[in-house]
Structure 1
Amino acid sequence: MKNKILVVEDEEKILRFIKANLVASGYKVYVAKDGQSALDLYEKYLPEIILLDVKLPKLDGFEVLRRIRGFSDVPVILVTVKDSSIDIVQGLELGADDYITKPFEINELLARVKAVLRRIKDEDILLENEIVVGDLTVNFLRHEVFVKREEVKLTFTEFKLLGELVKNKGCVLTHEVLLTKVWGHEYRDETHYLRVCVAKLRQKLGLTEGIPGWIHTIPTVGYKLLE
């Protein structure tokens, strides 16, 4: 079965170019030219991944992402203009799984799509379906996280990062190891992905610094989950 991708882009020429290459690579592609249409098409077709431009009519990409994250952890690759570091950070903070800047080479885009889809499929098989650390409970079988029995909604990438830390509780995991495990080998030097995602996890989990389950920073090295 073909992977389904929703491409959200208001520039017709770019949209046709992206769609043609994705279709040629074996994907089933749906297209939207504005933010509201993107939301409607997502609910109708439930694609496995969304390629989302930031600059859109009706609803911009950030608002689309914000609304989608209210009910779905579908992977989202954000498309921004070159050198828009503020947009990139904002997108990652809102729950984007990756980003790519215009102008881009089509091979780079296809590689990003493959990396995100690989991230979804390459789930580790655990001997333990559930791990409890203090007030934090991670259920790998159901993809659920609880803090003091209250469910915490995470994106797919956030869940995978937390899972790596929980599976290795008490151990220091380097930036490179975490980036490779969660995002893929080609992201091993992209520490800003990790920094933003850890900050979001701390915010969502709401744990007090220093208690079991807290994600502790090891300066210049990496992170460990306290037990």
Structure 2
Amino acid sequence: MRLAVVEDDEGFGDALVTALRMKDYQADHFRRGSDLLLHHQRFDAVILDLGLPDMDGLDVLRKLREVSVVPVLILTARAGERAVIRGLRAGADDYLTKPPRVGELVARIESITRRTRRPTVPVETVIVTGDVRVDLTSRRVQVGGVPIVLTNKEFELVRVLVERPGAAVSRQQLMDQVWGDAFAAVSRALDVHMAALRAKLGRPRLITTIRGYGYRWEVEAKRE
């Protein structure tokens, strides 16, 4: 199991990583919340401190929850019922105060990863919407029987949307899954690629813009 330890205290963080590796976990230490937001997709669970140098851990957790359901255990010196409630309401799966007993920490990690693990649901490999055909295996798209040449990023945008047809997908989710970065720096790139994708598909009503949120791949696409 791959664990991200987000802890600003270098000595404590390194010691925790060493203890987890001795338990046969693959653990990496990050000191900043922004590092977790950039690399969270590499991990199966997160151990998150709240007192971080670049932003509060609860803010990190809220941003993370916009793009990921990775299990998170808060490990912090902040004790008290109010602190625990705030952490859980922000999206944490469990809460533990320092200093932890390694055995209990491991048991809690195993518990949250077990209960948040979901059965794998097979995804359709060919999605047909109106006269638009998307083959996820061969990475080919046809409109009215005519192949459409897409860039890698354009196809990845299609893939994320068609895997949840009819469902709203946030801009943060698209940026995270296609670019691996949910920060605003790639927001403009998303707009450019989405505009190019729509132009190539030639079906303006196929991908609906949800103002202030993101996009939706319509279940039924009408020819313009």
Q: TM-score, normalised by structure 1?
A: 0.50
Match of 1:21 in 2: 19
Contact 1:32 1:41 in 2 (8 A): no
The answer to whether the Cα contact below 8 Å between 1:66 and 1:94 also exists between their aligned partners in 2 is yes
What residue is the counterpart of 1:73 in the other structure?
69
Find the partner of 2:33 among 32, 35, 46: 35
State the AA in 2 paired with 1:31.
Answer: H
Match of 2:207 in 1: none
Q: C-alpha root-mean-square deviation of aligned residues, in Å?
A: 2.7
1:71-113 C-alpha deviation (Å, 9 max, x unpaired): 1111110112253322211111111111111122111111111
Could you list the per-position Cα deviations for residues 106-161 of structure 1 after superposition, in whole angstroms to 9, with x for gaps in the alignment? 1111111111122244x5799xxxxxxxxxxxxxxxxx99xxx76599xxxxxxxx
In the aligned structure 2, how far is the partner of 1:7 from the partner of 1:125? Answer: 26
1:102 equivalent in alignment to 2:98: yes
The one-letter code of the counterpart of 2:59 is: E
Structure 2 residue matching 1:83: 3-state secondary structure: coil
Aligned to 2:9: 11
Supply the AA of the counterpart residue of 2:92. A
Number of residue pairs matched? 129
**Equivalent pair of 1:82/1:103 in contact (CA under 8 Å):** no
- The answer as to whether partners of 2:14 and 2:29 remain within 8 angstroms in 1 is no
Where do 5+ consecutive residues of structure 2 fail to align? 122-162, 171-224
CA distance in 1, matches of 2:76, 2:84: 7
Structure 2-normalised TM-score? 0.51
CA deviation digits over 1:23-72, x for unaligned, max 9? 111111121011112212325xx201010001111112111101111111
User: 1:64, 1:13 → 2: CA distance?
Assistant: 22
d(CA) in 2 for partners of 1:35, 1:91 = 15
Task: Give the aligned partner of residue 115 of structure 1.
Answer: 111
Question: Aligned partner of 2:40: which letter?
Answer: Y
| CA–CA distance in structure 1, aligned partners of residues 119 and 68 of structure 2 | 22
Pick aligned residue for 2:84 from 80, 88, 91: 88
* Secondary structure at 2:5 match in 1: strand
Structure 1 pair 152/33, CA: closer, same or farther in 2 (3 Å)?
same
For structure 1, the residue ranges without an aligned partner over 5 or more in a row are 127-143, 154-227
Q: Alignment identity in percent?
A: 33
Distance 1:60 1:80 in 2: 12
Residues 80 and 88, structure 1, Cα contact 8 Å, conserved in 2:
no
- Separation (CA, whole Å) in 2 of partners of 1:151 and 1:92: 25
Q: 2:43 aligns with which of 47, 58, 64?
A: 47
The separation in 2 between residues aligned to 1:16 and 1:125, in whole angstroms, is: 34
Aligned-partner SS, 1:104: coil
Q: Secondary structure at the match of 1:96?
A: coil
CA spacing shift, 1:125–1:27, aligned 2, 3 Å? closer
Greater gyration radius? 2
Distance 1:30 1:76 in 2: 15
Q: Distance in 2 between matches of 1:124 and 1:72?
A: 17
